[in-house]
Amino acid sequence: MKDLVVSKLRIWDSRSGAALVEDSSFTVKAGKCLAIVGESGSGKSLTCRAIMRLNKAGLRQSGDIWLGDIKLTALTEKEIRRIRGTKLCLILQNGMRAFDPSSTIGSSVRETLAWHYGWSRSEMIGKMAKAMTAVKLDDYLRILNSYPHQLSGGMLQRMMIALAIVLEPEVVIADEPTTALDTVSQFEVLQQFALLRERLGCTMVFVSHDLGCVKKLADEVLIMKNGVIVEKGAASDIFHAPRHDYTRYLVTAKTSVNQHFRRLMGGDSFVFH
């Protein structure tokens, strides 16, 4: 396992020249989970996509990104494509957009796995069945034969986690993977992320608006505002001794929402700490 190092990342719109992410530097130690938190439009997704080298053509980026001794920003398109999936895996907010809507889940998965590994069809199904059982997708044949629109958002997210289990990447980047889900599915998917980390020992970058999720998963937290990192540090410090006004605002806002909810529900048991 290797550290993921982002050094002086800058992203801008090549047409307008507008800076979207400015001088962003951070390290995710091997096996640790970094949460990126910030309001809408603060540059969280662009940062994740820059690591994957998946930002749109109209955007430019400078700065270096390393995974151990591999300089991701210097790889050719062919080389980075090999690394996506095997070493880096991106899990998106909307499972519907991750799978081809005109193919069954099984054929999308087979295509991804065949691209990376020379497994036979039965080997692939065997591995996926095991991984799907691990994320509580029990009726695996029915699910593999379904189209994305026939599955719920929570099932599609768990399907992506199952795929990550099979691909065993070194780094999992999850861009708001629970935002589009109802509260029960959010809780279940979050549990699966915790298990994924335990199982693979992978490094994780987890983008979330939800400080409850962040508290559950993250070792380190990075707070972004208007394309700039305003604070970074150990999760416990961010929650208990935030230094920046904006971080204090986020933490206080969460605490007051929780207190309000607690008063409404008449106790602690419903609050997601």
The answer to whether the CB of 247 falls within 8 A of the CB of 223 is yes
Does the protein bind ligand ATP through residue 43 (CB under 6 A)?
A: yes
- Mark the segment that binds ligand ATP (CB under 6 A) among 26-34, 52-60, 122-130, 240-248: 52-60
Q: For residue 230, state whether it binds ligand ATP (rule: CB under 6 A).
A: no
Nearer to ligand ATP (CB atom), residue 46 or residue 172: 46
Of these, 6, 33, 46, 109, which contacts ligand ATP (CB under 6 A)? 46
Alpha-carbon gap, residue 93 to 99, rounded angstroms: 12
Of the candidates 6, 32, 37, 45, which one interacts with ligand ATP according to CB under 6 A? Answer: 45
φ/ψ (deg, to 5) at 218: -85, 145
Rg (CA), the chain: 19
Look up tokens 């005109």; give the residue. 102
Interface residue with ligand ATP among 4, 6, 9, 20 (CB under 6 A) is 20
Q: Which of 5, 30, 54, 59 binds ligand ATP (CB under 6 A)?
A: 59
Residue type, 74: A
Smallest gap from Cβ 9 to ligand ATP, in A, equals: 12
**Considering beta carbons, is residue 40 or 122 the nearer one to ligand ATP?**
40
Does the footprint of ligand ATP cover residue 154 (CB under 6 A)?
no
Longest dimension (CA), the chain: 57
Structure-block tokens of residue 230: 């305003």
Helical pair 105-116 and 153-167, crossing angle rounded to 10 deg: 20
Question: Total residues contacting ligand ATP (rule CB under 6 A)?
Answer: 13
Q: Are 228 and 243 in contact (CB under 8 A)?
A: no
* Residue where the block lists tokens 């993921």: 4
C-alpha distances in angstroms, 20 versus 56, 107, 113, 128, 164? Answer: 13, 37, 34, 38, 29
Question: Which regions of 99-170 does DSSP assign to beta strands (E)?
Answer: none
Provide the minimum distance between the beta carbon of 186 and ligand ATP in the complex, in angstroms, as a whole number.
16
Identify which range of 53-61, 69-77, 110-118, 238-246 contacts ligand ATP by CB under 6 A. Answer: 53-61
* Contact between 208 and ligand ATP per CB under 6 A: no
Residue 53 engages ligand ATP in binding (rule: CB under 6 A): no
Contacting residues toward ligand ATP, per CB under 6 A:
13, 20, 38, 40-46, 56, 58-59
